[in-house]
Amino acid sequence: MEYFRTLTWFGAIKDIADILIVSYLIYKLIQLVRGTRAVQLLKGIFLLVITWALSTWLNLYTLKWLMNQMFTFGVVTILIIFQPELRRALEQLGRGKLFIRSIAVDEDVSHTINEVIKAVNYMARRKIGALIVFERTTGLNEYIESGIKMESTISSELLINVFIPNTPLHDGAVIVRNSQIMAAGCYLPLSENPFISKELGTRHRAAIGISEVCDAISVVVSEETGQVSLAMNGQVVRDIKEESLISKLFDELRPRAKAGEKGRMLAFWKRKEGGGRG
């Protein structure tokens, strides 16, 4: 109460400005890490802080000592873990982009899946190898930065051109966010699962690998057989049929879709494609 008694108008304005500036900085930092795996790391740090608070409150001496040891080296650990995000923040600050208001892009799952299916059908018939990754909750910014940034509206023609053999980007992965191709020629982590079939090549291992470290979904076209595969949650479904692929992508990318709406979309794609993949 003593604080409020001695508070002046100038002091109140100064404190309000201080709170607003700090709040805005925190908001921009949250925007910065949103769309990256750092969000999951922040959740882990938050759980550690809660554990430390409970151990202090309940006088759990051993657990409290362990938490204190962890927090002693916490600053260095955070700098190491968040090095990509800190580097990106400094780069954006240098370019004056950190405080630019981000523009939200409306999701158009129907259009995105339609264009991907058209491209996949074309490439499967001609045995053109392809790897298309759909970003979901966990951001893929660090993998987007490993490729060539495009930030282009998705289209089947653009996808086909990217994966045409002997072109600069055909060996990497295309990463799709909402209705945009964010980057092409991206490097993905390869799965080290020893139980994966030896028949699967680098594309399939990369598709499985990215699904092991995050919740992304990958569509793979084999250049040897023309078969289309779907990878998610560390598993791969080989030679998936077109209707099953559409249904799964629609369910996973737009999980709240109603059954009637999904049926109408399936009928729309069938009419648009003039039948299934030959």
**Range name among 8-12, 223-227, 249-253 with the lowest pLDDT average:** 8-12
The confidence band for 268, taking pLDDT boundaries of 50, 70 and 90, is: very low
* Domain chopping of the chain, boundaries: 2-95, 109-273
Q: Which of the four pLDDT bands, split at 50, 70 and 90, describes residue 125?
A: very high
pLDDT above 90: residue 210: yes
For 75-87, give one letter per residue: b (16+ CB within 10 A) or e: eeeeeebbeebee
What stretches of the chain show up as alpha helix (H) in DSSP?
Answer: 2-5, 9-33, 38-57, 61-72, 74-81, 83-95, 109-125, 141-144, 156-163, 202-213, 242-253, 259-273
pLDDT tens, 32-81? Answer: 666 555 666 677 777 888 888 888 888 888 887 887 777 777 667 766 76
Q: pLDDT for 140-197, tens place per residue?
A: 888 998 999 998 999 999 999 999 998 888 889 999 988 899 999 999 999 988 888 8
CATH tag, 109-273? 3.40.1700.10
